[in-house]
Amino acid sequence: MDLGIKGKRAIVCASSKGLGRGCAEALAAAGVDLVLNARTAETLEQTAQEIRDAYGVKVEAVACDITTEEGRAEVLAKLPDPDILVTNAGGPPPGKWSDWEIADFEAALHANMLTPIMLMKHTLPRMIDRGWGRVVNITSQSVKAPIPVLGLSNSARAGLTGYVAGTSRQVAEYGVTINNLLPGIHATDRAKSLDGGVVKAEGITMEEAKKRREATIPARRYGTPDEFGATCAFLCSVHAGFIVGQNILHDGGGTNATI
């Protein structure tokens, strides 16, 4: 299917690896020019070059922390008026409700709620002026069904979800859609690090930890960044203009709910 977005320009945050990279690659495959971002310059530049080589699109790389005001300013200076914005950042650490102080919540809120909100605040006006735009926020299945050890993530992402629910309905009439894409377990460094936590806590092997988690997913496997990216690119396509303010699970059936 032709996604109809060849020549458009996208910012994809936190995209040197994992799900962000999956989204960047799928957009590049559809002919979209990219501004990529991550903190580690070397990995980011390598990803940027691999995407240039593979898809022949323009790719610029901005190495910075997207959860800071300065980082966001650097990315927006490179591309102040993207047609497509994919927000993403690292997820907060796991723990227990009694572990976290205000500073921990503030860090999670900056990373997983306020950063996407500020990026939208800066980019939506020009999308509205042009009469076309797409925003996809990478959130988590924990928005639909809380993951108890990820209380910081549950809290911050719930705030973003509420913001998107209202804002998406204020901008839809201008041809601008905002949706959230909710990953379940995917084979990325983040999943490895969470499995690593279980290995430490329970004294089992990495393979056993993965097997146990796969058993909780109806598809009986982890998702891939490629599958995730393809879904993101569809949401950014011309065909998805009537999908507004949705929270789309990409979790192999892991969230046990009727709707």
CB of 173 to ligand NAP, least distance (A): 30
Euclidean distance between CA atoms 28 and 5, whole angstroms: 10
CB of 195 to ligand NAP, least distance (A): 10
H or E stretch at 181? strand 176-183
Select from 17-25, 100-108, 167-175, 235-243 the region that touches ligand NAP (CB under 6 A).
Answer: 17-25
Q: Does the protein bind ligand NAP through residue 67 (CB under 6 A)?
A: yes
Q: Does the protein bind ligand NAP through residue 40 (CB under 6 A)?
A: yes
Enumerate helices (H) and strands (E) in the chain, giving the number of each: 9, 7
- With respect to ligand NAP, which residue has the nearer C-beta, 43 or 255? 43
Euclidean distance between CA atoms 243 and 201, whole angstroms: 41
- With respect to ligand NAP, which residue has the nearer C-beta, 140 or 179? 140
Annotate 36-82 with three-state secondary structure. EEECCHHHHHHHHHHHHHHHCCCEEEEECCCCCHHHHHHHHHHCCCC
Q: Does the protein bind ligand NAP through residue 195 (CB under 6 A)?
A: no
Distant-in-sequence, close-in-space partners of 34: CB < 8 Å, separation ≥ 6: 9, 10, 11, 12, 24, 27, 28, 48, 51, 57, 58, 59, 60
Q: Does the protein bind ligand NAP through residue 78 (CB under 6 A)?
A: no
First to last CA, the chain: 27
CB of 13 to ligand NAP, least distance (A): 6
Q: Does the protein bind ligand NAP through residue 65 (CB under 6 A)?
A: yes
Could you say which of 8, 72, 110, 186 contacts ligand NAP (CB under 6 A)? Answer: 186
Select from 4-12, 87-95, 167-175, 235-243 the region that touches ligand NAP (CB under 6 A).
Answer: 87-95
Q: Residue 64 CB: number of other CB atoms within 10 A?
A: 17
Residues in contact with ligand NAP by the rule CB under 6 A: 14-20, 37-40, 43, 65-67, 88-91, 138, 140, 183, 185-186, 188-191
